[in-house]
Amino acid sequence: MDLDDVPWYPPDMTPEPSTATPRRHRHRWESRQTDDGVAEVCMLCWRTRDAESSRRSRNNRKRGGSDELAVARLLGGRKVGQLNLPWDVEVAGYARLQCKQLDVWPPLMCKAHREKGHCNSADPTCVLGLLDAIPPAPELRGVTLADTPGPGRRTRRLVIFYLDEYAGWHGRPLREAADDGSSGEGPALPPPTSP
């Protein structure tokens, strides 16, 4: 067998084009004399560098990447946040998760969800918007939220799924619940006994 005979992709899989938006350019910072003194200016777009916001962005990017890696390691999945998909961690054949580690957790539902039933922004800011941004598939869709409790304290993490999708994986089938006479809410409690 020659390498020319080996297909690049398996017959049942075709490559999909990337949904990532290309970067305009990477800034090339140089020191220049301005009216306010010496400042760093991008030589491509003439934007002045803000050191505080640059540091904050870099720290947030590192914090988000480390949270994705921690979730992937806990669940035995892989980190795919760098691929610019709507999810950050993929557990093969089981779940696709969007990870958020924030000082203040996002609300469960935003104003657009309450009024229209869906988020209309390209960058959702509520948990339901993050869940809805992940396209439906056989895998579970979920959002993980983590807080930053400070030095010496353990990070707390929550996972949020839609209950119907979670029950499809872990619940009893509806027919089985109906056959045994239960409502699917768990075992019936015995009647109380009087003393």
Give, for all 195 residues of the chain, the pLDDT tens digit: 566 666 655 555 555 666 666 777 788 888 888 777 888 888 888 788 887 777 667 777 888 888 999 999 999 999 998 888 889 999 999 999 999 988 888 888 888 777 877 776 666 778 888 898 899 989 999 999 998 777 888 888 999 999 989 988 888 766 655 555 555 454 444 555 555
For the entire predicted model, the pTM comes to: 0.63
Angle at 96 between CA 69 and CA 132, to 5 degrees: 120
Closest listed residue to residue 123, CA positions, set 139, 141, 146, 100: 100
Do 19 and 39 contact (CB within 8 A), yes or no? no
